[in-house]
């Protein structure tokens, strides 16, 4: 509608959306539950994210936007990006994984639907989820060594204040890096999801939509997802979607209130 009124879209940004890894549980009644892995499980010690080769590809404690950006790209164009979050039973008891809550909460329905996959060994778990078993075992052994030293030499999990804030303050030497040793082991598959779009209607400092020469279109404003994001496709931190949305909403309302009728 805004384009028909003469508005122009902003240029492509580094990313078309603000991303978050999402796991999907198919309920018995046919409905889907989608769980965004924002901040709870990924940064905790004893969780790794792997690709189909069983290799880590990212600092699991980085922001959800960066996590998805690092997710492996499919070989075929029609394929989708996918990854697996893996933990052991000690982690599961303490933190839970996605929709699977910590100890005491029922999780049989999640195992039945295939949302949560359990394996008595790492090799068995890898086979169940279609991940290279040797690769996963090597990755876990390497991560277990990092847990003793406290240094994730591969991706720096726990190196930043942002990582550590989301880790386990009672776990040392690195609040974000722990061992995966105690069977059974668990996996949840994650897919790219989004929390909003970055590309939208071009606006001026009053949040007025502008045409392709930058002239404002009388009476047409855009904020929130509809407004071309001022973040250039980057995700410096939580709030960079709602913050500008309410700010420019306020600016637009002030401008409207003073506009000639
Ligand atoms: C799970 C999740 C967590 C998030 N957490 C945060 C956070 O912590 N901090 C943060 O800053 N941002 C967060 N975001 C992003 C933030 O919620 C969005 O940026 C924001 O809601 C966008 O606001 P909006 O008004 O532009 O769009 P929306 O909130 O999507 O509102 C658009 C509205 O228009 C309605 N609509 C659509 N089409 C029509 C139509 N044809 N006719 C009439 N109505 C229509 C829709 O039903 C909807 O109500 C999160 C997003 C998600 C999904």
* Percent of the chain clearing pLDDT 70 (strictly above): 100
Q: Report the separation in Å between the CA atom of 8 and the middle of ligand 1, taken as the mean of its atom positions.
A: 21
Residues of the chain with CATH 3.90.700.10: 17-194
Q: Per the confidence metrics, is the pTM higher than 0.75?
A: yes
Q: Report the separation in Å between the CA atom of 242 and the middle of ligand 1, taken as the mean of its atom positions.
A: 9
| 241, 245, 247, 248: residue to mutate for ligand 1 pocket, most atoms within 8 A of CB | 241
Do residues 8 and 212 lie in contact, with contact meaning Cβ atoms separated by under 8 Å?
Answer: yes
Output the CATH code of domain 17-194.
3.90.700.10
Per-residue pLDDT at 136 = 98
Ligand 1: which atom is nearest the Cα of residue 194? 53
- Confidence band of 75 (pLDDT split at 50, 70, 90): confident
Per-residue pLDDT at 79 = 73
Burial (CB count <10 Å: 0-12, 13-18, 19+), residue 153: exposed
Q: Report the separation in Å between the CA atom of 190 and the middle of ligand 1, taken as the mean of its atom positions.
A: 22
Q: Report the separation in Å between the CA atom of 245 and the middle of ligand 1, taken as the mean of its atom positions.
A: 10
Task: Determine whether the shortest distance from the Cβ of 59 to ligand 1 is under 6 A.
Answer: no
Q: Could you report the per-residue pLDDT of 61-71, keeping only the tens digit for each?
A: 999 999 999 99
Task: Determine whether the shortest distance from the Cβ of 224 to ligand 1 is under 6 A.
Answer: yes
Which run of H or E residues covers position 69?
helix 64-70
Q: Could you report the per-residue pLDDT of 89-124, keeping only the tens digit for each?
A: 999 999 999 999 998 788 999 999 999 999 999 999
Tokens of 87: 């933990």
Crossing angle of helices 122-129/133-149, nearest 10°? 130
């Amino acid at each position: 509608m805004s384009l028909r009124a003469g508005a122009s879209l902003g240029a492509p940004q580094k990313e078309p959306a603000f991303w978050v890894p999402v796991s999907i549980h198919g309920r018995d009644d046919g409905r889907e539950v989608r769980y965004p892995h924002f901040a709870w499980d990924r940064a905790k010690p004893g969780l790794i994210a792997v690709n189909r080769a069983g290799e880590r590809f990212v600092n699991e404690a980085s922001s959800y936007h960066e996590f998805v950006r690092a997710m492996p790209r499919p070989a075929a164009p029609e394929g989708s990006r996918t990854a697996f979050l893996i933990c052991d039973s000690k982690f599961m008891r303490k933190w839970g994984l996605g929709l699977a809550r910590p100890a005491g909460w029922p999780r049989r329905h999640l195992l039945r639907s295939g949302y949560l996959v359990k394996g008595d060994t790492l090799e068995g778990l890898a086979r169940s989820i279609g991940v290279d078993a040797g690769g996963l075992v090597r990755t876990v052994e390497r991560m277990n060594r990092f847990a003793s030293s406290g240094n994730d030499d591969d991706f720096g999990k726990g190196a930043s204040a942002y990582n550590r804030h989301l880790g386990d303050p009672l776990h040392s030497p690195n609040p974000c890096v722990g061992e995966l040793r105690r069977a059974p082991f668990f996996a949840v598959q994650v897919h790219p999801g989004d929390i909003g779009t970055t590309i939208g209607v071009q606006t001026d400092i009053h949040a007025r939509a502008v045409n392709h020469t930058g002239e404002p279109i009388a009476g047409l404003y855009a904020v929130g997802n509809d407004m071309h994001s001022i973040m250039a496709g980057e995700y410096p931190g939580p709030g960079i979607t709602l913050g500008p949305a309410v700010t420019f909403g306020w600016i637009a309302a002030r401008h409207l209130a003073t506009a000639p009728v």
